[in-house]
Amino acid sequence: MLDRWVILPPLLALAYFILSRCHWRYQLYHFSKLNDCQDAPHEGSWLDCHTGVFKAITLGRNFRRKTSLDYTNQLFEKYGNTYSTKILGQNVLFTCDHANIDHILSAAFADYDSSSTRAHLFEAPAPRGIFAVDGQRWKDTRKLYRKQFSNNRLICDFDDLERHVQNFIKKVPDNGQPFDIHALFYNLGLDTTFAFTVGKPVNALSSDQTPEEKQIMEDLECVKETITRDAFIGPLRHFYDRGAFLRASQRLRNFSEASAIQAVYDAQKERNSDLKLSSGQQQPYTFVRGLSKEIDDVPLIVDQSVSALLAGVDTIAGLLSTTFFLLARNARVMQKLRASIIDNVGHERPTYDQLKQLTYMQQVFNEVLRLFPPIPFNHRTANKNTFLPRGGGLDGSSKIFVEKGVQVVFSTWASHRMSDAFGEDCDAFAPERWEKLRAHPLGFAPFSRGPRVCPGREYYLSSIYLVLASARTSFSKGVFAN
């Protein structure tokens, strides 16, 4: 016969486990009731509703086929603007409702984290970079960025941009021959962003590119692609070899480190010297030089410069090529834009103030960013029991309970295509709609919103400069002739 002292401890442990589960369930129920929450529609087959294995496979397949945007949009059409699902055992909410997106990014900012799903992605290239941290660490880092991006006139170095534009122009064929404009814009994005952040272009548009510069270009590509893939496939990433990613991350860090060491050395020398440099002697602004005036922690400067590189290249390149993609298909908009550039700037290089006054150009940009936001998806993880303001219940008007640890994926791609915010013709490219819309209509968040809004949006005027300068060439070289 079993001694009762042997079976009592496991029985007590089991009872404790059951009671604490019940208490926890009751707390969730109570929170949900107190806030009038209702369930969101559930997406997924009954077979998969506990494991979410098929869902993970379907997401992976759509990612590989580059059909993720269509796939999630179809689900929004079927289940409504907010629905819940299960991916590999994890509860996930998908939303394109502007009330929910705004709530996560602004009002309930403190209830949601980014780092729980992102820190591991950035561990090799930028472990303390702004994308990998939350809380006080993020606040301290953000302060550094705020300071750097606060002087737009200083950071938008038109002389430097013009040099890169000249390289771009040399690559545009004469007489309207066809060419891949996206590849050229990607290289322009690389050269300008590397020059702005670390102060060394990788000469992507030059015929004198060194093997080291080419390698760095490829390394950035490898790091970006791996981070994007791993963010989509979640735990399935462990099945992939990470060797190439780790080596590419290290080379990218070494490349930035050389600039960071030099910048910290120069900043210390300047601080210790009694003589202040005159403006003529000062070196042009770069992000790394700016940071070195605030901190002398070289690895931290490297973390931030690699983060800015990862954030800047694709977004700028994507914005430039989608602008031209849409202009090439809309002769009316292109003619109007061309006339407005000639009216306001003429055929010369624009000044900073002229750029700020190009209202139609701004409307074209807003419309491009609406239809093709360079970051079409984003996500956050609840760091406490909380709620979303809309999407629950039969009519979708109730709040939804969000348990601590649940991920919320939001799609600006879909929220930018809502007819209630942007009109019945919301799928059309019509920059004129911005004459009537407020500057930041609900649901429009290409640069995100709230405290974590993109700091690089201040640098955005540089993109306008690039488009304008490229447009000048394209018009004169007859790029749009066909």
Annotated binding-site ranges for heme: 454
Q: What is the DSSP letter of 437?
A: S
Nearer to ligand HEM, 381 or 385 (CB): 381
How would you classify the pairing of strands 112-113 and 90-95?
unpaired
Q: How far apart are CA 380 and CA 382, in angstroms?
A: 7
The region of 49-57, 178-186, 308-316, 355-363 touching ligand HEM under the rule CB under 6 A is 308-316
> Considering just the CA atoms, what is the radius of gyration of the chain in Å?
25
Instruction: Go through 2-26 and write b for each residue having 16 or more CB atoms within 10 A of its CB, e for each that does not.
Output: eeeeeeeeeeeeeeeeeeeeeeeee
Q: Which of 104, 227, 233, 308 is in the footprint of ligand HEM by CB under 6 A? A: 308
Tokens 């509860």 appear where?
Answer: 91
User: Rule CB under 6 A: is residue 408 a binding residue for ligand HEM?
Assistant: no
Residues 123-152 that bind ligand HEM (CB under 6 A): 130-131, 142, 145
Q: Which of 316, 327, 334, 355 is in the footprint of ligand HEM by CB under 6 A? A: 316
User: Rule CB under 6 A: is residue 319 a binding residue for ligand HEM?
Assistant: yes
Q: How far apart are CA 141 and CA 115, in angstroms?
A: 14
Alpha helices in 35-67 (DSSP H): 53-65
Q: What is the DSSP letter of 282?
A: S
x/- map, 363-392, ligand HEM, by CB under 6 A: -----------xx--x--------------
Write down the least CB distance from residue 212 to ligand HEM, Å: 22
Neighbouring residues of 49: CB distance < 8 A, sequence distance ≥ 6: 42, 86
Q: Which of 94, 413, 459, 465 is in the footprint of ligand HEM by CB under 6 A? A: 459
Tokens 């090799």 appear where?
Answer: 124
Alpha helices in 198-295 (DSSP H): 211-233, 243-272, 287-292
User: Rule CB under 6 A: is residue 448 a binding residue for ligand HEM?
Assistant: yes
User: Rule CB under 6 A: is residue 312 a binding residue for ligand HEM?
Assistant: yes
**Strand, coil or helix: 199:** coil
x/- map, 97-126, ligand HEM, by CB under 6 A: -----------------x------------
> What region, left, alpha or beta, does residue 3 occupy, with left being phi > 0 and alpha being psi -120 to 50 degrees?
beta
The region of 91-99, 228-236, 314-322, 464-472 touching ligand HEM under the rule CB under 6 A is 314-322
Q: How many residues line the site for ligand HEM (CB under 6 A)? A: 24
User: Rule CB under 6 A: is residue 456 a binding residue for ligand HEM?
Assistant: yes
Tokens 């089991």 appear where?
Answer: 14
Write down the least CB distance from residue 279 to ligand HEM, Å: 24
- Give me the count of residues in the chain: 482
Q: Which of 32, 315, 322, 470 is in the footprint of ligand HEM by CB under 6 A? A: 315
Neighbouring C-beta atoms of residue 90, cutoff 10 Å: 17
Write down the least CB distance from residue 53 to ligand HEM, Å: 27
Structure tokens that stand for 342 in this block: 């000639």
Q: How far apart are CA 77 and CA 59, in angstroms?
A: 17
Write down the least CB distance from residue 316 to ligand HEM, Å: 5
Q: Which residue is nearest to ligand HEM (CB)?
A: 456
Q: Identify which of 439, 453, 464 has the alpha carbon closest to the alpha carbon of residue 152.
A: 464
Nearer to ligand HEM, 130 or 400 (CB): 130
Nearer to ligand HEM, 60 or 376 (CB): 376
Residue ranges binding ligand HEM (CB under 6 A):
114, 130-131, 142, 145, 307-308, 311-312, 315-316, 319, 374-375, 378, 446-448, 452, 454-456, 459, 463
